[in-house]
Each structure stands twice: as C-alpha cells, then as structure tokens.
Amino acid sequence: MFPGSNFLQSVSRRQVFHIAWPIILSNLSTPLLGLVDTAVIGNLGDPALIGAIAIGGMIFSFLYWGFGFLRMGTTGLVAQARGARNLTETKASFYRAFLIGLLIGSLMLMLQYPIITGALHIIGGSEYVEAEALSYFQVRIWGAPISLAHLAIMGFLLGLQDTRSLLLLQIVLNGTNIVLDFVFVVGFGWAVMGVAAATVISEVIAIILGLFIVTRRIRASGTSLLIPKHVLLRTRALKRMFVINMDIMIRTLCLIFCFAWFTNQGAQSGDVILSANAILMQFVSFSAFFLDGFALAAETLVGSAIGARDKTGLNRSIRFSTELGVSTALLLTFFFWLLGTPMIHLLTNAEAVRSVGTQYLIWAIVTPLLSVWCYLLDGIFIGATRTAEMRNAMIFSLATFLTGWYFLHGTFGNHGLWLAFQLYFLARAASLAFYLPRLRRMTD
C-alpha cells in the first residue's frame, strides 16, 4: 500500500488539521508571487506594463480555473481507489488525468492565436497594453501542457493526503518564479516577457520535482510504475472520469460567471464602488485561503472513507472538518470585525474608496461564517465524486444569485448586490446539504 494508507484508523481532529495546515500555508504563499510580479514590472516606470501583466494573468487564470477538474476529479478518484486498497486504479487515475492535462494543454498551445485574439477582443485595452499582453501570452502559453499536467500531480498527492509535498511544490514553484522575476526583468530587462518566462521555467522545475515525488510514492508502495494498457484505457473508468470532469467544468463555469457578474455590476455603479468591492473581495479571497484547507482535507478523508466503505470514518471526517472549518470562520469574522477598517486603509489611500469600503465592510465580515458551509460541502462532495449533485447545486445557486440581484439591486444598490452574493453562498450550502443523506448512504 501507499505509505500511511491505514484507512480504517479512527479519523481525528488532529489528522484533519495535519492535512489542512500545509494547504493553508500553500494558499497564503500564492499572493506573494502576484505582488512580486507587480512590483518588478511596476518599478520599470511604465504603467501600461502593469495592465498588460494583469490582462495576461487574468486570461491564464480563467483558462486554468476552467480546467480545475484535473485536480478536483483526480483527488476524489485517487482517494477512493486508495481507500479501496486498489493500487492499480490509484495509479491509473493519476496517469489518465496527467495525460489528459498534457493533451488539453497541447490543444491550447495549437489554438493560441484564436484564444488570445478572442480574449483581447472581449477584455479590450489600449493598443500598447494589448501588444504587451500578447507578448506575455505568447511566452507563457508554452507552459500550458505543464501547468495542466501539474494539476493532476496536485490531485494525486492530495488524494494520498500528502499535503506536505504539495506545500513543498508550491514553495519551489513560487520561490523559483520570484527569483527568476528579478533575474529576467531587473537583470536582463525583458519586461513582461521576463515575467512570463519566469513562470514557464518555474513550472517546468515544479513538475520535474512533482514527478519525482509521485514516482517515489508509487515505488514505496512496492508496485511497478507501469500498468497494463487495457487498465489505463478501461472504458468504464474513462467514461466515469469524463462525466466527473464535465460536471466539475460546468460547476466551475457557473462559479466564474457569478464572480464576473458581481464584478461587472460593481463597475456599473462607478469607479469608487468598483474599487471598494475589489478591496472587500480581497477579504473574501483571504478567508478562502484558510477555509479551503479544511475543505481539501474533507476531500481526501471522505474519498478514502467511501473507498474503504467506512461509515464511521466518513461521519468523523465530515464532523471534524466541519468543526475546524467553522471555528476558523469564526476567527476570521472576528479578525475582520476588529481590523477590517485599518486593512481597508492599508490597501488604499483614496479617501472616497476608504469611506465606501467601510460602509460595505459588514458584508466582508459575515462572509466567512456564511460561506464556510459551501466550501466544506464542496470538499465532501468532491471526495465522494458526487459531481452531478455539485453541478445541479451550482446551477441552482447561480439562479438564486441572479434572481436575488434582480430584485434587490434596484432598491438597495450595492448592499443589494452583496446580499445577493451571500444568498448565493447560502444556496450552495443548502442545495448540497439536501443531497448529503444520499452521499452518506454510499458506505452502506
């Protein structure tokens, strides 16, 4: 068996925290890279270059977020195969996702011209900014196969509960990227192309390390790295993976649309509201860095329990991840209540934005407590690979958000927009909770 795969042991709060804390640290390391990218370009004295990096980065965030199923689907499938003590299927689940990531990334590379042309047409910008964004894209797109295959590595390690290796990979990825930013941009003067090249090279280094870790984990299980071709291409397994991935992709597109709609409606209310909402959304993102840790812990623990058909393990996994997640949400809410206003003042020196941000701060304060439930339930359902329910719940939640916005925004303005956003979180939690009894029966 893979090391540490004693599934029938009693799940504890300590075990949940042991899985979650490296994920939290890994999440917190990510914004540092964005700050360094902005800082090295910002100090070149050309504001347009910052806009080019922002546009280019947004395009890749959208593309890679849309294929996040390569990570999420792999986690659930690997955790369940591991729980069932099926070594061959554990490896096969990773290999399938890894090869699909390489294939999709290669297709993106071949279709780079229509992708960037369509993206720049939608986003818009000055001719100079678009030209620099194009330069950024043309370099970074070469890392697409590597980036998407890397998602499979992340899913595999998370399915094995090896979050310390995930943290190591993230530190190497971001650390190398930061160092190369200074070398290529400050040292060589490559500007936006230097930032893109730094990202691609750091991704290459990270995937080499990731494959080394995966190889070591497989060999430690006492089995060969190879699996029969007929197992890898087993029709039933491929069909299941396809259905899971399509469900997660639909769910992710609904999620992206919701956040894009929120941003767009803020923009319709003027620059000050737009800026204030953007700052308050940083609070939402900050809380997600912590809450995601416990959601991902639920993914791997629930998946392993279902694979082992361990009802007690399933119930304890849900209970303890929920307890720790909700406790963390309470701390975050208290933190935002205590330091929210000073944080707004730290993030902007524009008095109008400060004033408006403080006016709507209450929504950022309550968000952790209202959103934690859907984060945790997402993790539970991903681990169980009950993706059809996740897809349906997200469609319902998006409809709830848009309906809430329609009836509330006209009367309550930006408060109505934020209230509709909270209704979206609650709808996600309520709709997934509706399906939870069905999920629990999977271990019967």
pLDDT digits (tens, 9 = 90+) for 8-34: 457 889 999 999 999 998 888 777 677
Domain shared by 203 and 323, yes or no: no
Per-residue pLDDT at 8? 47
The number of folded domains in the chain is 2
Residues 245-269: pLDDT tens digits?
999 999 999 998 998 898 888 878 8
Position 1 in a domain: no
Average pLDDT over residues 280-303: 92
pLDDT of 400 higher than 80? yes
Q: How far is it, in rounded angstroms, from Cα 337 to Cα 349?
A: 20
Cβ atoms of 420 and 405 closer than 8 Å: yes
Residues 256 and 323 in one domain: yes
Please determine, for residue 223, whether its predicted confidence score (pLDDT) is greater than 70: yes
Instruction: Identify the weakest region by mean pLDDT among 50-59, 188-197, 380-389.
Output: 50-59
- 4 confidence band (pLDDT: 50, 70, 90): very low
Higher pLDDT, 307 or 49: 307
Range of the domain at 225: 11-233
Residue 51 has pLDDT above 80, yes or no: no
The answer to whether residue 103 is domain-embedded is yes
| Residue 382 and residue 273 in one domain | yes
Structural domain contains residue 84: yes
Residues 213 and 254 in one domain: no
Query: Is residue 265 included in any domain, yes or no?
Result: yes
Residue 5, domain member (yes or no)? no
* Nearby residues of 286 by Cβ (< 8 Å), 6 or more positions away: 332
- Domain check: are 46 and 154 in the same one? yes
Structure tokens at 110: 């071949």
pLDDT of residue 124 exceeding 70, the answer is: no
Residue 2's pLDDT is: 60
Mean pLDDT for the chain overall: 90
104 CB contacts (<8 Å, ≥6 apart)? 67, 70, 145, 148
**93 shares its domain with 131:** yes
- Provide mean pLDDT across the span 158-165: 94
Q: Which pLDDT score, from 0 to 100, does residue 269 have?
A: 82
Task: Specify if 95 maps to a domain.
Answer: yes
> Do residues 277 and 363 both lie within one domain?
yes
Q: What's the pLDDT at 129?
A: 81
- Evaluate whether residue 58 is within a structural domain: yes
Q: What angle do CA 281, 283, 31 make, to 5 degrees?
A: 90
> Is 4 part of any domain?
no
End of a domain among 209, 233, 257?
233
Q: Is the pLDDT of residue 135 over 70?
A: yes
- Structural contact between residues 22 and 164, judged by C-beta atoms closer than 8 angstroms: yes
Average the pLDDT over 146-167 and give the result: 95
Is the model's pLDDT at 352 over the cut of 80? yes
Q: Quick check: pTM over 0.85?
A: yes
For residues 186 and 293, state if they share a domain: no
Are both 285 and 219 inside the same structural domain? no
What's the N-to-C CA distance of the chain in angstroms? 24
Q: Are residues 56 and 144 in the same domain?
A: yes
Domain end point (choices 233, 254, 276): 233
One domain for residues 252 and 188: no
pLDDT band per the 50, 70, 90 thresholds, residue 76:
very high
Residue 5 above 50 pLDDT? no
Mark whether 274 and 395 lie in a shared domain.
yes
Share of the chain above pLDDT 90, in %: 69
Q: Which of 176, 201, 233 is the last residue of a domain?
A: 233
